[in-house]
Amino acid sequence: MGMNKNTVLAWATFIMILVGLILIALGAFRYDDVAGWGFASVGIGFFAIAWVFNALKGRV
C-alpha cells in the first residue's frame, strides 16, 4: 500500500488541523497575556493552510 499524492495531502491536512487546534488551545487556556492572541492567530493560520491542502486534493 503506497501513499499517493492525495493520501499525503490528506495526512498533511489532518496534521495541520491538529496542530491548529493545539495552538488555539494553548492561546486560550495557557497564556493569559498578549502571547495568547499570537498563539490563537497562528492556529487560525494553520486552519487556512489546511483548507488549501484540502482544496488541492485531486488537482495536483
* 6-27 confidence digits (pLDDT tens): 888 889 999 999 999 999 999 9
User: Does pLDDT of 60 surpass 80?
Assistant: no
User: Residue 51's domain spans which residues?
Assistant: 5-56
Alpha-carbon gap, residue 38 to 51, rounded angstroms: 20
User: Does pLDDT of 1 surpass 80?
Assistant: no
Q: What is the pLDDT of residue 21?
A: 95
Q: And the C-alpha cell for 43?
A: 492556529
Q: Is 16 exposed, middle or buried (0-12, 13-18, 19+ CB in 10 A)?
A: buried
At 23-55, the pLDDT tens digits run: 999 999 988 888 899 999 999 999 999 999 888
Place of cell 488549501: 52
